[in-house]
Amino acid sequence: MSGRCTGPACDSVDRVIELNQLTKHYGSVLAVNGLTFTVRPGQVTGFLGPNGAGKSTTLRMLLGLNTPTSGTAVIDGRPFREFGTGLRHVGALLDANDVHKGRTANAHLAALACSNGLPRRRVQEVLEMVGLGEAGRRRIGGFSLGMRQRLGIAAALLGDPPVLLFDEPVNGLDPEGIRWARELFRRLAGEGRTVFVSSHLMSEMANTADHLIVIGGGRLIADEPVGDFAARAANAGVTVRTPDPDALAEVLRNVGASVLAESQGTLSVTGLTAARINELAFTHRVMVHEVTAHGGSLEDAFMQLTADSVQYRAGDPR
Ligand SMILES: Nc1ncnc2c1ncn2[C@@H]1O[C@H](COP(=O)(O)OP(=O)(O)OP(=O)(O)O)[C@@H](O)[C@H]1O
């Protein structure tokens, strides 16, 4: 699905989010520290980091709600504030509870539609898209957290935008809701949109994201495809079958991989991705019959990489 553009979002410009040395100080707290990365269309990009890593601050700067101390954050080359009717360009869910609780869902969405020059019919359309088609006349104050998350997602979809940002969107959703959200994000990306989704839980991203941007303590830790990220886990490995195991082992060890010769012609390699091993074998003219990546839970990779930046850690249970 990723990379294929089939929907209305395909007509728009390049839909790229770009951060360049983005930094935010809150007094003595350095919340975001020189973040530089690009988020591309046609795929779901997970924005991961432990609590307090700086995800929300980054998204708020991207939406012009917080002012960076230095650096820039732009969408299609422009700061968000320069988009007049914002919801047509960028849909965002930041805080599902940041709504007027006395209003009905219909009234909330109708006000947003009106201020963004969007047709009133979109209100019912998006409510149905998020499974709240029957709840439009209910007051938001009576909604569960899961329903508020769905309402926030509906608001983000109101302008049918090519770029979507979601901050912890599955908080409060039940398992069916999480599956629904995952499929929605993948469908939106499949339509060619840029979908950027934050979470502090790797498990939420494992089956959703194509690409991961991981931060810790406000700094960039990883920016790579999900498969490459998983390969970083200590228990990840690649099995290689080759008619010339000695030659390949030498090539791989020379670039720092750890190589274990197993049965005849089979090597167990850690520290390199399957793609990199293929490249090296090709470059050094060593024939390979099989290169299979295995193991490496994303959760393990995430815990290992962010271990030093976790701000709040529970004591050992007694
Ligand atoms: N308005 C503020 N004033 C002072 N410090 C703040 C403010 N907002 C955030 N911070 C601090 O900035 C850091 C990053 O916070 P942020 O909310 O961006 O992290 P996060 O990755 O979104 O965390 P979580 O997963 O818990 O939502 C934290 O240390 C936080 O305490």
Per-residue pLDDT of the chain (318 residues; tens, 9 = 90+): 334 444 444 444 578 999 999 999 999 999 999 999 999 999 999 999 988 899 999 999 999 999 999 999 999 898 988 876 678 889 999 988 888 888 999 999 999 999 888 999 999 999 999 999 999 899 999 999 899 999 999 999 999 999 999 999 988 888 888 999 999 999 999 999 999 999 988 878 888 999 999 998 899 999 999 878 877 666 678 899 999 999 999 999 999 888 999 888 999 998 888 889 999 999 999 999 999 887 666 777 787 777 766 655 555 444
Same domain as 35, residue 102: yes
Same domain as 127, residue 263: no
* Residue identifier of the C-alpha nearest atom 30 of ligand 1: 52
C-alpha 35 to ligand 1 mean position (Å): 15
Any domain includes 113: yes
* Residue identifier of the C-alpha nearest atom 28 of ligand 1: 52
Fill in the DSSP letter of residue 316: P
| Res 296: pLDDT | 62
* Residue identifier of the C-alpha nearest atom 12 of ligand 1: 31
| Res 282: pLDDT | 96
Same domain as 267, residue 212: no
Same domain as 83, residue 62: yes
Domain boundary among 191, 225, 259: 225
Number of domains in the chain: 2
ipTM tops 0.90: yes
Q: Is the CB of 216 under 6 A from ligand 1?
A: no
* Residue identifier of the C-alpha nearest atom 4 of ligand 1: 26
Q: Is the CB of 53 under 6 A from ligand 1?
A: yes
C-alpha 219 to ligand 1 mean position (Å): 13
- Residue where the block lists tokens 């469908």: 187
What atom in ligand 1 is closest to the CA of residue 200? Answer: 25
Domain boundary among 169, 191, 225: 225
* Residue identifier of the C-alpha nearest atom 2 of ligand 1: 26
Any domain includes 274: yes
Same domain as 269, residue 173: no
| Res 84: pLDDT | 67
Any domain includes 19: yes
Any domain includes 305: no
Note whether 180 and 149 are within 8 A (CB).
no
| Res 9: pLDDT | 46
pTM here is 0.79
Same domain as 269, residue 209: no
Note whether 300 and 229 are within 8 A (CB).
no
Q: Is the CB of 200 under 6 A from ligand 1?
A: yes
User: Domain residues for 277?
Assistant: 237-294
| Res 5: pLDDT | 43
Note whether 19 and 77 are within 8 A (CB).
no
* Residue identifier of the C-alpha nearest atom 26 of ligand 1: 51
Any domain includes 304: no
- Residue where the block lists tokens 């390969």: 231
C-alpha 31 to ligand 1 mean position (Å): 6
C-alpha 52 to ligand 1 mean position (Å): 5
Structure token pair of residue 172: 């409060």
What atom in ligand 1 is closest to the CA of residue 218? Answer: 14
Same domain as 172, residue 63: yes
Same domain as 50, residue 88: yes
Any domain includes 312: no
Any domain includes 3: no
* Residue identifier of the C-alpha nearest atom 8 of ligand 1: 57
Q: Which CATH number characterizes residue 242's domain?
A: 3.30.70.980
Domain boundary among 188, 204, 225: 225
Structure token pair of residue 155: 């608001």
Rounded Cα gap, residues 165 and 94, in angstroms = 8
C-alpha 191 to ligand 1 mean position (Å): 32
Work out the number of other CB atoms within 10 angstroms of the CB of residue 118: 20
C-alpha 164 to ligand 1 mean position (Å): 21
∠ CA 129-166-10, rounded to 5°:
65
Same domain as 185, residue 96: yes
Rounded Cα gap, residues 286 and 54, in angstroms = 45
C-alpha 18 to ligand 1 mean position (Å): 21
Same domain as 20, residue 117: yes
Q: Is the CB of 215 under 6 A from ligand 1?
A: no
Note whether 43 and 211 are within 8 A (CB).
yes
C-alpha 217 to ligand 1 mean position (Å): 10
Exposed e or buried b for every residue in 54-82, given b needs 16+ CB within 10 A? Answer: bbbbbbbbbbeebebeebebebbeeebee
Same domain as 247, residue 157: no
Q: Which CATH number characterizes residue 91's domain?
A: 3.40.50.300
Same domain as 162, residue 92: yes
Any domain includes 232: no
Q: Is the CB of 31 under 6 A from ligand 1?
A: yes
Rounded Cα gap, residues 84 and 88, in angstroms = 9
| Res 293: pLDDT | 80
